[in-house]
A and B are shown apart, each in its own frame.
Chain A
Amino acid sequence: MHNVLLVLATFLASGVEMVEALTIVLAAGISRGWRSTFVGVAAATLALAVIVALCGPALTLVPIDALRLVVGALLLVFGLQWLRKAILRASGYVPLHDEDAAFRRELEAARVAGAPIRAGLDWYAFTLAFKGVLLEGLEVAFIVVTFGSTEGSLPLAVDGAAAALVLVAGVGVLVHRPLSTVPENAMKFAVGLMLTTFGTFWAAEGAGIDWPGGDGAILAVLAFFVATSCGFVALLRQQRGRGPAAAAERAGGR
């Protein structure tokens, strides 16, 4: 069960980030040409592989309790960022991420930009693709390294990320447009819940506590965070319905 959740978490987190990276890559490729864009993607992928290859094994040299405490705390704080944003989006306080709108913005910016040529490459396309893939991929690398090292199962975490890469890249090549129909916000909610759950479990273990039920407690912690997060969404929606903006909307509708 532990391993299934681990693969699922890395798959979903990687899928979400890769959908966003694909949007940027498509905007760069369609507006500026594919050669420089692909070189940018390849360079960023190589950089990410080096980060995972260096950091993953290095973390396994740290004593397991210290590793669980530090990595668990980092994962927890990082996961709470995702969950916080997901709750605010689900309750209507922050607009939902719109992949089509992001694509139009990137496309427009790429079209009006100049055409600097360096080392035989369209530097704008290269930089846009490189930064897009590296920055979105860094979150994936962070999750893969932390999940893989703490559980001693880096290959499983890499498998989850690789499956997402194959799926998103494959669909991207086939449809050749942003994957706006992917339920990105729901996936982000799920990833936030899983990162928060694993972070809580490992950090508390690293701090010296014994979970009742051992590894099975992960499911109980996950259920607790699912219930509380859904409760927070309901509470915020209720508050929003009573707020000044809602009152103004109601008055305007009369």
Chain B
Amino acid sequence: MGAALAGFGRFWYDFIVGDDWTVAAGVVAALVVTSWLARLRVPAWWLLPLAVAVLLLASVRRAAKGQR
């Protein structure tokens, strides 16, 4: 039962998060900051696209470095 649950969890983790957990963690952090700024009525529409681009660049550079 425990093994089946662990397998189920691992499947969904691989399915959604995949190879680089730091991207998922970074997206969550960026959304927390965006939400906080929105509550303070600070225009923060630019934050998430920028954070996504930075996270993506860091992730592909790390992966490329590992391939060399």
Contacts and interface: CB of A to CB of B under 8 A. Distances in A.
**A is bound by B:** yes
A207 interface: yes
A80 B45 contact: no
Given A81-B19, A84-B59, A232-B57, A245 B68 contact: yes
Contact-residue size bin, chain B (C-beta under 8 Å from the other chain): 20 to 34
Interface string B11-39: 00001111110011001100100110111
Given A138-B15, A217-B45, A200 B20 contact: no
A78 B53 contact: no
B49 to A, nearest CB: 6
Contacts of B67: 88, 93-94
Interface string B26-64: 011001001101110001110111001101110111011
A204 B48 contact: yes
Nearest to A229: B56
Contacts of B60: 84, 87-88, 91, 232, 236
A200 B49 contact: yes
Interface string A45-82: 00000000000000000000000010001101110110
Interface stretch (A4-12, A24-32, A220-228): A220-228
B6 to A, nearest CB: 19
A223 to B, nearest CB: 11
A228 B63 CA distance: 17
A239 interface: yes
B41 to A, nearest CB: 10
Contact of A210 (B23, B28, B35, B45): B45
Contact of A69 (B15, B24, B31, B47): B31
A232 to B, nearest CB: 6
Nearest to B65: A239
Nearest to B25: A77
Interface in A64-114: 69, 73-74, 76-78, 80-81, 83-84, 87-88, 91, 93-94
A84 B34 contact: no
A228 B56 contact: yes
Interface in A194-209: 196, 200, 203-204, 207-209
A204 B24 contact: no
Nearest to B55: A80
10 contacts: A77-B16, A81-B17, A88-B63, A93-B64, A203-B27, A204-B44, A204-B47, A207-B31, A209-B43, A209-B45
List the 10 shortest-distance A-B pairs measured between CB atoms, nearest first.
Answer: A208-B38, A207-B35, A81-B18, A207-B34, A204-B48, A228-B53, A77-B24, A93-B67, A209-B45, A93-B64
Given A74-B16, A245-B68, 8 more contacts: A78-B16, A81-B23, A88-B63, A93-B64, A203-B48, A209-B44, A217-B45, A232-B57
